[in-house]
Each structure stands twice: as C-alpha cells, then as structure tokens.
Amino acid sequence: NELKGLDLQTGFFTYRQIKAATNNFNAANKLGEGGFGSVYKGILSDGTVIAVKQLSSKSRQGSREFVNEIGMISGLQHPNLVRLYGCCIEEKQLLLVYEYMENNSLASALFGPTNGWLKLDWLARQKICVGIAKGLAFLHEESTLKIVHRDIKCTNVLLDRDLNPKISDFGLAKLDEEENTHISTRIAGTIGYMAPEYALWGHLTYKADVYSFGVVALEIIAGKNNMKYRPNQNFVCLLDWAIVLQQKGDLMELVDPELGSDLSKEEALRMIQVALLCTNPSPVLRPVMTAVVNMLEGRILIDE
C-alpha cells in the first residue's frame, strides 16, 4: 500500500506488485504468447490496467531484446506508441509492464480466428492506418533518438478501447545512427514485411519501416494477410497482386468486400496508392513517414 501511486512514476515494479496485479500470473489473466514469452493482464493497486510481458526462457536472444526494448521506449511517449510503464528485474524475473490495450492486435482484428467479433469499418481502418503512420513518423523524425522499429507488422500494432492503433514490440528496434545508412550484421524481422534491400543485403534505414508500413496498409484495406493471400491459381502475395492490378488499372479489386457503403472510392484508392509508393523496391523512392501522413489525410496529392 505504501507503493500505491508510486509505481507508475518510478518505472520499477516489485515482483510482489506484479504478482498481486496479475493474481499470481493466473491462467485466466493470460492474454497470449508473444515473441519472447507470455503476456498477462493485470490491475495495479491504483486501478491502472496493465499488460505484463514475461520473458520465458533465459535465452540470450530474448534477454537482449528485452533490455533493448527498455532502452528504446522507456523515454518515449506518443499517442500511437504503446506506453511502457516500467519493468521488474527481481528474483530472476524479467517483466515488462505496458499500458493495457483492450482490443488486442490489429492482426487478430483483421485476420485472426476471432475475426468477426470486432468489425473494422472503413473509418476505423483509415484511423488505424493514419495512426500507425503518425507513430512511425514520430519514431523516425520527431523523437530525439532516430529509431528504426525493424518489425512493423499487424501483430505488432495493438488497438485500444477506441480503436486507436499503437505500435508495440521494440525488441528489434535500432537507432538510425549513421545518417540513415546502416549495414546490419544480423538481419531480423518478419518475412513478407521486410524491405528487399534489408532482407537481401542488411542495408537498414528507416525506409525499411516505410516498406513494412506499406505492406500493413495494403493488408488493412484488403483485410488479408500479405503472405497468405493467393488469388486464383497463381502463387502470389497480396503485394504482387496489387502491382498486377495497378497495371490493369483495377486497384479497387483489392478492397475488402466487407467494407460496404461507407467506403469512399477516392479514399480507398488513395490508401492503396500510398501503400504502393511505400513498397517501392528502391528505398530512396519511398516517401518519408510525415509525407505518408499528409498523403493519407489528403494534404499531398499523389501522381498516378
């Protein structure tokens, strides 16, 4: 009780606090399995609802990412980044404590097994797309550290009660140190979202995030997973299909049929065109994220 109100300010939580908050890591409080361990829902003594990430094994990789995540986002606050309240490093435990996001991940909303319970209409999808772009623009251009997230994908975007999107999982994030050119020794990310220059040559700049964002934007409008999408008999991913449709002048065919009457054709085309600009094979031809925000919001017109 003496810690009441203190915990959110110090950034350090005691193991006892987290055990109490999660009802001793009760299975009923488990939200799911993440990249490096289980995630639990909890309530702090002051009523704040939290999500606790527990590092499962003592794998080097996991703990390196864990420490990286603390370093990267502990100081960052933006409406489109999941807030890290703090951590617990007691009794061999490694726990990260985040704000709780009521509506889980964008991946589960768009193409998860629970698909259907949470309807993302056109307005919601637009808001989500713009929000992710704003979060990235902040990381790349406005935060004092220039940060490349490196693993932008729908599972790493969480939705709050009002369907505001927030970027999570900074385990792979890196500083964009060398004037946005960086050769990475260890390539990490997710197939289907990785920019070609990074996947092939380890050439990492913030433009790699722009590419991943483009894939996410395409998934948002199509309601389909890039790598799992196979139109007709051909084995092509959603992005390849979009390029084919662009050449045929038939981009509207990409739009999720579930998006009904509230869809504006002009806005839908705009989102697809932005997605295609972002996924340009050449990083220098991809826009920066503030330009993407302006394009999505119709302040910059896009040439066809």
Query: Collapsing DSSP states into helix, strand and coil, what is residue 230?
Result: coil
What are the two backbone dihedrals, phi and then psi, of residue 189, each rounded to the nearest 5 degrees? 165, -155
**Catalytic residue set:** 151
User: Considering beta carbons, is residue 33 or 177 the nearer one to ligand ACK?
Assistant: 33
Q: What does each C-alpha distance from 161 to 35, 37, 44 come to in angstroms?
A: 23, 24, 19
User: Considering beta carbons, is residue 22 or 279 the nearer one to ligand ACK?
Assistant: 22
Least distance to ligand ACK, CB of residue 69, Å: 12
User: Considering beta carbons, is residue 90 or 160 the nearer one to ligand ACK?
Assistant: 160
Residue ranges that bind ligand ACK, judged by CB under 6 A: 31-34, 39, 51, 82, 98, 100-101, 104-105, 108, 158, 168
Least distance to ligand ACK, CB of residue 38, Å: 8
* Kind and range of the H or E run holding 175: strand 174-175
Q: Please give the DSSP secondary-structure letter assigned to residue 86.
A: E
Q: How far apart are CA 107 and CA 125, in angstroms?
A: 12
Least distance to ligand ACK, CB of residue 289, Å: 23
Q: How far apart are CA 225 and CA 272, in angstroms?
A: 15
Least distance to ligand ACK, CB of residue 32, Å: 3
User: Considering beta carbons, is residue 32 or 79 the nearer one to ligand ACK?
Assistant: 32
Residue nearest ligand ACK, Cβ-based? 32
Residues 251 and 221: beta-carbon distance below 8 Å: no
Q: Is 19 annotated as a binding residue?
A: no
Q: In this structure, which long-range contacts are made by residues 223-230, counting pairs with CB atoms below 8 Å and at least 24 apart in sequence?
A: 223/110, 223/111, 223/120, 223/256, 223/258, 223/259, 224/110, 224/111, 224/256, 225/107, 225/110, 225/111, 225/154, 225/192, 226/192, 226/193, 227/191, 227/192, 228/111
Binding-site residue positions? 53
Binding-site residue positions for ATP? 53
